[in-house]
Amino acid sequence: MIRLTDIKLPLEHPEGAIEAAVRAKLGLGKDAVRQVTVFRRGYDARKRGAIQLIYTLDVEVADEAGVLKRHADDKHVQPTPDTGYHFVAKAPENLAQRPIVIGMGPCGLFAGLLLAQMGYRPIILDRGKAVRERTVDTWGLWRKRKLEPESNVQFGEGGAGTFSDGKLHSQISDPHHHGRKVLNEFVLAGAPEEILYVSKPHIGTFRLVTMVENMRATIDSLGGEIRFSQRVDDFLVDTETDGKRQIRGVVLASGEQLLSDHVVLAVGHSARDTFFQLHERGVYMEAKPFSIGFRVEHPQSIIDQARFGPQAGHPILGAADYKLVHHCKNGRSVYSFCMCPGGTVVAAASEPERVVTNGMSQYSRNERNANAAIVVGIDPKDFAAFDDSGSPLAGIALQRALESRAYELGGRDYSAPGQLVGDFLSGKPSSEFGSVQPSYKPGVRLTDLAPALPDYAIEAIREALPAFDRQIKGFAMRDAVLTGVETRTSSPVRIRRGEDYQSLNTQGLYPAGEGAGYAGGILSAAVDGIRVAEAVARQINATH
């Protein structure tokens, strides 16, 4: 097969135009092209009204060697690379201990799946519930203002990514095509096949629920063991005669001990109690930068028109997204994060009497509003205002303080504080909604958002919104709604690991995914889970 890249065609190209473009590119007659498969399809929307589709194609031709020879100097005509997944190991017979995976978000799910596929029969622990029970509990907060601390947007089967837009694209380097393995497994579990070729694939919450259940069934069928409502409360760590530390297992909230010399830590970025326990047990970690801000909602039609012009609404384009960044005079950077076209703002708290926002979309992306987090980058030097101990966990103190303040500003009933963009820019409280009705459930209480974040963050966002309006007309519209607060953009800690993916100072412990500070999003977390599973397999086989 031959891979052609950068094949450009008009958005409204006729049937047969792809094959015609292939023949023109390669200088071949009709009979010489046997098959054309779309590997990826993206678009270039820089010229509104003249949007182009950009294809990567895999082509079967009659004389592959001859064609490649004639186009040897063309970087857009190359042999199709092998993007299939190849397992790195197979479990030895009579394996004495089963590896443990803590957490069943995207990272833990794929770590467990890969270990099961290689024959290691992992034990997967999740503090939350199975995904359908978890969904009921999550809706309990949204509809009845009842928070379940162990079963919510953050905790439970599928992880935080289950209640999101289901984006499946990432900027990570992936030379071994682990991302393709993730997409293929998702398709096998029920995702639409288009995620294999569209440039910005997404799934949506409802489809993710069924897919996660199907993947769980696969792990079960391969000998894996999945245990829900099993919070890990402690870690068994031995210090050996040479001073090295070795993980020996975990202690569950029930008091049960599970022994294993190989523990994958895929707990997600909101497992604060777990971070404290690891710190107490001496596992090396560092405070890391993250971001704080608000969710902003606009009519999706405004974003579509700004991005696509007269071609807005085209079924191939779907609901438009955006990615914005502004570097402020005070030295801060403000950027859009987790943009959800045609979606909703959701309550994402995991601790009582705190308010946290996140964004979610269904596969159809057909809700009235677009939403995104508009966040300000902060780093460990900013944490001292909330915890001056120098602890690597100081960022958690900052998060908790802002989430508690949002709870108070929202009326202390899990409503979120909100403000119209026009009033926010003018520095006055909002009293009534305009043309944009907020989607956050259980509700939004209009107020002044200035007290919700540190002054430097408010100053930066006030500067950034008009700058974003110059890129997307209407972004700073008066009636757009800001909802607070967004604090869970990424983990506040990084649990450092070496090249072998093990903790720097605790052998057998494999920090992984978003919670450990090594991923940001479903795809990158899943890929990290695969890489860590491979590392576990290699280490087990090397010592067995």
SS3 content of the chain, % helix, strand, coil (to 5): 30, 25, 45
Neighbouring CB atoms inside 10 A of 425's CB total 16
The pLDDT of residue 165 is: 76
Rounded to 5 degrees, what are φ and ψ at 372? -155, 155
- The full 3-state SS of 142-195, as one line of letters, equals HHHCCCCCCCCCCCCCCCHHHHCCCECCCCCCCCCCHHHHHHHHHHHCCCCHHH
179 contacts: CB under 8 Å, gap ≥ 6: 170, 172, 523, 527
Rounded to 5 degrees, what are φ and ψ at 480? -60, 150
Closest by Cα among 533, 543, 513, 478 to 160? 513
357: left (phi over 0), alpha (psi -120 to 50) or beta: beta
CA quadruple 388, 393, 395, 397: dihedral sign: negative
The pLDDT of residue 155 is: 96
Helix (H) or strand (E) holding 375: strand 369-378
Residue 267 corresponds to which amino acid?
V
d(C-alpha 124, C-alpha 120), whole Å = 12
Closest by Cα among 530, 445, 516, 449 to 267? 516
The pLDDT of residue 336 is: 97
CATH number of the 2-79 domain: 3.30.70.2700
The pLDDT of residue 166 is: 78
Cis status, amide bond into 442, omega within 30 of 0 = yes
Evaluate whether 112 touches 122 at the Cβ level (below 8 Å).
yes
Tokens of 56: 């990567």
Domain boundaries, the chain: 2-79, 100-285+493-543, 289-486
CA quadruple 119, 122, 211, 358: dihedral sign: negative
Neighbouring CB atoms inside 10 A of 63's CB total 11
Q: 100-285+493-543: what fold?
A: FAD/NAD(P)-binding domain (3.50.50)
The pLDDT of residue 243 is: 75
d(C-alpha 498, C-alpha 288), whole Å = 17
Tokens of 439: 């989607």
**pTM, full prediction:** 0.95
Strand 123-125 relative to strand 225-227, pairing? parallel
Instruction: Using 50 as the pLDDT threshold, list the residues of the chain that sit under it.
Output: none
- Give tens-digit pLDDT for 168-184: 877 777 778 899 999 99
Tokens of 162: 């289950």
- Euclidean distance between the first and the last CA atom of the chain, given in angstroms as a whole number: 41
Angle between helices 131-144 and 205-221 (to 10 degrees): 150
Examine domains 2-79 and 100-285+493-543 and report if their fold is the same.
no
Rounded to 5 degrees, what are φ and ψ at 197? -130, -20
Chain centroid, CA 537 distance in Å? 25
Strand 33-44 relative to strand 52-61, pairing? antiparallel
Chain centroid, CA 220 distance in Å? 25
